[in-house]
Structure 1
Amino acid sequence: MTETAAGQRNAAWDELADREDRIRSLRHLADDELRAKLLDTLREEEAAVGHWLDAGDCFVMSGAGSVHLPICPSMSAFIDRGKAWAPYLDDLERVRDWHGSDNVPPMPALLTRADVEAMSAYKACPVCAPALDHRDKRAGAKGWTVLKAGSLDRRHLGTAFSLPDGSEIGALAKITTVHTLAGTDFRAEFDGLGSPITGPATELMYRN
């Protein structure tokens, strides 16, 4: 997506984000009129979400800070704007509540891959398992990315790693994960380490 297209997309998204103030100004309308206006808003949101999804390589950030695919079941209540708006269309007083903070359903926080990977920390949903650079990325010291050994995959092969205490363990040379009835056998081998790391929860770090 070009920088101009991205700017237009973000401007359109910002306009939709202001819809709560717009809807507050409509609360004096009769039920049928208000419901019709809400349906217009719903259709605008469906078009905006659909346009974003059609662009491809799109992810959703949950309120808890996890990154999901748009098809993740846990995100359907946000992505499906008809489902999101249904409780409000069935209870117009919820929309009219002048002192409420829940007058409209929240929009999904949609991000591109570049948006996600630019974040200093994120956790990928284990259910929909988006193909990101990390499954559990944490912010480390400036210039470093911290992750758990279980997040390693072939994209990290050849990358030089250190332990959190600063000890260098060399480049990642091999990853092996074997699932058996007895459990999972995980091994990450580094060319500067005499023995493999076998704990998926072991924290590692590499320079950004």
Structure 2
Amino acid sequence: MHEETRMAQEREQEASKALNEQENFLRRQDYLSDEELTENLLAGIRREKAIVESWLDSGDCFVLSSAGKVHLPQCSSMRQFMDREAAWAPYLRDLERVRDWSGDTYPSMPVLRTRAQVEDLKAYKTCPMCAPTLDHSDKRQGVRGWTLLKAGSLKAKHFGKTFSLAGGSSIGVLTEISTVETAQGLDFRAEFDGLAAPVTDPMTQVMYRTPRPTH
């Protein structure tokens, strides 16, 4: 097992353990005074901040939303999850929200993943605002044994691969990709040796056979 994968798994286990402890602890807050409850909440926030900061310090951190969209940690739309103090602020202002715990009302921790873990997902979309640089901007689960992606997501690593259109017709090996900024906007071109004319629509879906694991 690679060291990066082991460290990521350890971070996930620590995060899960801490959240379970936090949840079980908060179930038992009815008997505490406001001052005691506030201090316990602040202690929990410090633990959650430490977990998030550990991921950020690793330098290999992406945020996965419930809709399957991938964000950079600094994305403004993820602040409500990444900033644990801001997430818990309404509860610190209204302690009865804590005492009225119902099992699913507390602010969720962000779902944090490494680059390798994101790329292992069968499908994901990247956030158009923070635009994380991953292998795909829109990865979809296609035909079994094939990787489906939009032409605009093609990169240098795809050179030499034999592609087909989503409908199944072969278009040959990818030989060139380019994006040129013009007065009219961006001019996209992807050339394949089996096509007489290049693909110019970055939304065109293409696919190639997914390599089988060698072990």
Using the size of structure 1 for normalisation, the TM-score is 0.92
Match of 1:89 among 88, 92, 95: 92
Cα distance, 1:132 vs structure 2: 0.5
Cα distance, 1:123 vs structure 2: 0.3
In structure 1, runs of 5+ residues without a counterpart are none
Cα distance, 1:167 vs structure 2: 1.3
Q: 1:56 to 1:93 in 2, by over 3 A?
A: same
Taking only aligned residues, the RMSD between alpha carbons, in angstroms, comes to 1.7
What is the match of residue 132 of structure 1? 134
**C-alpha distance in 2, partners of 1:4/1:119?**
18
Cα distance, 1:100 vs structure 2: 6.3
Contact 1:133 1:155 in 2 (8 A): no
In structure 2, runs of 5+ residues without a counterpart are 211-215
Task: Out of 3-12 and 191-200, give the one that drifted further.
Answer: 3-12
**C-alpha distance in 1, partners of 2:43/2:70?**
29
Residue 52 in structure 1 maps to residue 55 in structure 2:
yes
**C-alpha distance in 2, partners of 1:121/1:99?**
33
Runs of 4+ in 1 over 4 A off after TM superposition: none
**C-alpha distance in 2, partners of 1:20/1:137?**
35
User: SS at 1:179's partner residue?
Assistant: strand
Task: Out of 149-158 and 164-173, give the one that drifted further.
Answer: 149-158
**C-alpha distance in 2, partners of 1:164/1:4?**
36
Using the size of structure 2 for normalisation, the TM-score is 0.89
**C-alpha distance in 2, partners of 1:98/1:105?**
12
Q: 1:144 to 1:191 in 2, by over 3 A?
A: same
Cα distance, 1:4 vs structure 2: 4.4
Residue 22 in structure 1 maps to residue 28 in structure 2:
no
**C-alpha distance in 1, partners of 2:10/2:80?**
26
Aligned identity (percent) is 55
The amino acid across from 2:178 in the alignment is T
